[in-house]
Structure 1
């Protein structure tokens, strides 16, 4: 069929033509927005799941919901080598700029921007910069806020104290306007322990004050454990939503609804095979759907079309989805992952790619002491290739990664 009319979109964070199977999450967030608008207490939201399940797409959709209600919004992507200060300052700057035209007291906006600028400029100096390093850092970077930096508010240098004060002031601006502010944080598991602790403290303060500012985070399955390690009360502070693979009905909808808009249909056996191949993971659904469309000569799409197209989809996933991640690992880390994949080679583990493997068994399989493998394990966790949901176990963050590794030559 005509590749120009191909409706499928297997891209990183790219919204699919049909956002199937996420109605519950959208409804929950709609309730959160409405409750906050009415001054009701509500928790911030954390989305967790493996890679390829559509967390970023959902995060962007939730942001669109907030914007449609005239909320101020900002979004950042956490990075393990970056402090929270500057990205949060930029995101809140954007959010408050969206609210500013509706505020009846421009000086209140300027007052907040002064606090925001002070918060942003209070970044720690680079290691080894010595005395005067802070001044040099200020000279190198300015946050683009055209008001003088305030003093005595959100500028202590302690990220926890400063973030609490900044969020409180931002929430006050939203209260003046009669709306709210939503801060969206992708890849939240990559924040440092200090930054996660500060975020928890700020959200805790807002929940006690009833301030109309919420944080919507998205991260890998071990994000709840990272939050709990930072603050014990985080288990009660956030509303957690596990984003998983699509069920059969939703996966079929993701394929058939866009095709129907192009007057194309699928045979039931083709949908059976597509679900078997994709496992219901949204990214895989789009990848197999795109390849199948390009190979199918006409409507309706048959199981034979899927069989012909599947190798092309798998080759693309092997390079762009699996291979790019595998290449980031060192030889020692690859050895560790291969052992994980071999131990997870049962049919049950392949059915559930989130299956955890005991680290003691990995050490036994490699003939090593567990302590000697800690550097490889920790590096893989930092790179986001594996995670530890429970003490003494690890699992892949990427669906079907173990299956991919078992097809690769040693």
Structure 2
């Protein structure tokens, strides 16, 4: 088999050659785009799921769909302990730049850009001057218009986001389109910023502004949003992204192979589904290595069996190992105890019991793992890995 022609793409956020099993989500977003453009009420969207199920791929697909409809778009990746003010300013700047060339009133767009610049430069109460700054020099967002004072620059993110979103949405209204802002790793948005974001989206939903947010995050993201604003369960459309069905996984492998005049035997597809468990990243990872090691078409179950150890070794180093190496000894002990208990989610009191420790003494390790995104709280008193098959990986490690 020619490795140059290998069609599979097991990359982080990299679109696979065939986006199988996500037709329902794509159709739903098409409806959202059309309804918003027509001035119909519609909710923002939140995608949730474990790592490796293709949330980022869907975000990028949705963004492409919006761009094809001439919408303004922007995207950020949230980070723990980092305010979304500057990243959101940059994302909205990108969206407005996409809309500006088609707007018939340049001065109106410039006014909104001036509001955006004031928003980006607004000083907050907890903001500290940089050591390298002279006289507290302000961050420059690269917007070549004067800042408009008195709008979206109070320093209160909730007020400022509301005003900024309303003004930005008005530009899209003039053009009969919308703006969509994409937020990856949304569970990492700081608590106060999540609350401000929900309030801004709530304001837009009440006035019918054509600006929506599409977020993606780990399975506990709905709980994070609900804790910030009681109305968040009605504010967003929640879509859980999970593993692929057998039919979808088979198609994800066979469709791109068919374009290269290559086929799989039914037994090979069955074996690939069994070892990948239908998780899109694993489907691509095992498919890629199997292709490289197979001698000819059709690819057989024996080819898959031969390739599986090499694929697992690559996953152990990259997908699993890189995450394990980020953990401290105490965090590794906690995760290994989780894995030893078997099926997830795991009761936290059972972890403490297995280690012969008090639950309170394990709180620092658990909280740090939560912050690093290695585990999530499935519900009160239960904990689970954010990465599928991570427990199996830990149980197979010699140490």
TM-score (normalised: structure 1): 0.95
Please give the secondary structure, in 2, of the residue aligned with 1:136: coil
**Equivalenced residues, count:** 399
DSSP-derived class of the 2:111 partner: helix
> Deviation digits for residues 197-235 of structure 1, max 9, x if unmatched?
011000000000000000000000010000000001000
Matched position secondary structure for 1:239: strand
- After superposition, the Cα gap between the structure-2 partners of 1:290 and 1:327, relative to the gap in structure 1 and judged at 3 Å, is same
CA distance in 1 between counterparts of 2:368 and 2:127 reads 22
Instruction: Tell me the equivalent position of 2:382.
Output: 393
Q: Per the alignment, in what secondary structure is the counterpart of residue 298 of structure 1?
A: coil
Secondary structure of 2:378's match?
A: coil
Q: What SS does the corresponding residue of 2:63 show, helix, strand or coil?
A: helix
Structure-1 separation of matches of 2:279 and 2:129:
47
**Residue 5 of structure 1 corresponds to which residue in structure 2?**
5
Structure 1 stretches of 4+ with a deviation exceeding 2 A read 123-130
- Per-residue CA shift, 1:118-168, capped at 9, x if unaligned? 0001144776649xx895140xx2000011111111000011110111111
The Cα offsets for residues 288-345 of structure 1, whole Å up to 9 and x where unpaired, read as: 000000111000000000000000100000000000000000000000000000112x
Post-superposition Cα deviations, 1:253-294, rounded to whole Å, max 9, x if no partner, equal 000001000000100111110001100000000000000001
SS at match of 1:214: strand
- What are the equivalent positions in structure 2 for 1:7-406 lying under 5 Å apart? 7-124=7-124, 129=129, 136-138=136-138, 141-344=139-342, 349=343, 355-406=344-395
Contact 1:225 1:389 in 2 (8 A): no
- Maintained 8 Å contact 1:85/1:123: no
Q: 1-side partners of 2:137 and 2:303: how far apart?
A: 59
The equivalent residue for 1:407 is 396
- The CA RMSD measured in Å over matched residues stands at 1.6
Q: Distance in 2 between matches of 1:334 and 1:98?
A: 46
What residue ranges of structure 2 are gaps of 5+ in the alignment?
none
Query: 2:11 & 2:50 partners in 1: Cα distance?
Result: 16
Deviation at 1:409, TM superposition (A): 2.2
Instruction: Tell whether the 8 Å contact from 2:339 to 2:394 is kept in structure 1 after alignment.
Output: yes
1:224–1:98 Cα change, 3 Å: same
Structure 2 CA distance for partners of 1:241 and 1:201, relative to 1, 3 Å = same
Kept in 1: contact 2:122–2:154 (CA 8 A):
yes
Between the aligned partners of 1:99 and 1:220, the Cα distance in structure 2 is 32
Structure 1: distance between partners of 2:126 and 2:246: 51
Can you give the 5+ residue segments of structure 1 that lack an aligned partner in the other structure?
A: 350-354
Q: Report the Cα distance in structure 1 between the residues aligned to 2:98 and 2:282, rounded to whole angstroms.
A: 36
Q: Hey, what's the Cα distance between the residues in 2 that align with 1:300 and 1:262?
A: 12
Cα 1:166–1:233, aligned 2, differ >3 Å: closer, same or farther?
same
For residues 125 and 154 of structure 1, the distance between their equivalents in structure 2, rounded to whole angstroms, comes to 15
Post-superposition Cα deviations, 1:32-85, rounded to whole Å, max 9, x if no partner, equal: 001101110000000000000000001000000101111000011111132101
